[in-house]
């Protein structure tokens, strides 16, 4: 059965690989992204699978409702929406300048909510569908290296918990994808280790979680056990573990 998929933040490495997986299934895609050049290239690559596209700066939250309305107009309706945009930002800068902290919070939290409101209302009205947001394992515990970013993701996870319960009776599934570190342009300056995964593997895990109806999925799955330990460490002990305490 053909499904209509709307992907917001479609040109991120992970979201692009998700789009490729859905294109192989023959699904109809509506792609939204900030970078018009990358968006045009992805649209050309996926060809007939793309029913429509739009370039959008998600920080302009006043445009979110129209952005979703355009997707609905082109697709007819949305069966599954995926919100994949976000920014790590500069942690040290966010500790010194309020504007930097506000920018990180706006992109990772408020700009996502601006899309969630019209998307949730559309799916609730249809009484069917999937709503998926890419979050991060960083939200499980505040650590010096990225706590401004993590705080926005943590707030988003709480919002999604409430939204999930609200939409339960409407047969709309809300999926929170807690991604571990992925080797993408977003993490190009990060020192890589064995816990990093590829965008292709992450995309496969995301699509699998949606297919299986998993509401809160760790991708890759081994992060569930890792973060259970990290989340439950007493703070006094966590501060003594260099790998968790250091930047």
pLDDT for 190: 61
* Domain spans of the chain, in order of start: 4-245
pLDDT for 60: 97
What stretches in the chain show pLDDT beneath 70?
185-194, 247
Distance CA 10, CA 32 (A): 6
pLDDT for 124: 98
pLDDT for 131: 98
Q: Which residues pair with 130 in a beta bridge?
A: 80, 173
Count Cβ neighbours within 10 Å for each residue of 161-185 and write b for 16 or more, e otherwise: eebbeebeeeebbbbbbbbbbbbbe
- Where are the strands (E) in the chain, listed by range? 4-8, 28-33, 50-55, 80-83, 129-136, 172-179, 216-219
Distance CA 140, CA 92 (A): 20
pLDDT for 195: 77
Question: DSSP states of 169-189 as a string?
Answer: TTTEEEEEEEE--B-SGGGTT
pLDDT for 196: 81
The answer to whether 186 and 88 have CB atoms below 8 angstroms apart is yes
Over residues 195-243, the pLDDT tens digits come to 788 999 999 999 999 999 999 999 999 999 999 998 998 988 888 877 7
Q: What are phi and psi of 133, to 5 degrees?
A: -125, 130
Domain 4-245 in CATH 3.30.200.20: no
């Amino acid at each position: 059965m053909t499904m209509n998929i709307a992907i917001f933040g479609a040109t991120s490495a992970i979201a692009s690989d998700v789009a490729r997986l859905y294109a192989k299934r023959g699904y109809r895609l509506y792609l939204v992204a900030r970078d018009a050049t990358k968006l045009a290239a992805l649209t050309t690559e996926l060809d007939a699978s793309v029913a429509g596209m739009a370039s959008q700066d998600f920080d302009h939250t006043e445009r979110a409702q129209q952005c979703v309305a355009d997707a609905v107009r082109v697709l007819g309706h949305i069966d599954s929406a995926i919100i994949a945009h976000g920014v790590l930002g500069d942690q040290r800068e966010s500790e010194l300048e309020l504007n930097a902290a506000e920018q990180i919070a706006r992109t990772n939290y408020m700009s996502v909510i601006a899309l969630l409101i019209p998307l949730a209302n559309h799916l609730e009205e249809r009484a069917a569908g999937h709503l998926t947001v890419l979050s991060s394992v960083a939200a499980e515990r505040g650590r010096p290296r990225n706590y401004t970013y993590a705080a926005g993701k943590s707030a988003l996870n709480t919002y999604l918990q409430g939204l999930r319960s609200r939409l339960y009776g409407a047969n709309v599934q809300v999926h929170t994808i807690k991604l571990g570190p992925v080797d993408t342009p977003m993490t190009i300056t990060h020192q890589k280790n064995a816990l990093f995964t590829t965008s292709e593997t992450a995309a496969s895990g995301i699509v699998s979680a949606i297919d299986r109806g998993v509401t809160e999925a760790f991708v890759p799955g081994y992060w569930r056990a890792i973060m259970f330990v990290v989340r439950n460490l007493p703070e006094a002990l966590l501060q003594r573990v260099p790998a968790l305490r250091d930047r």
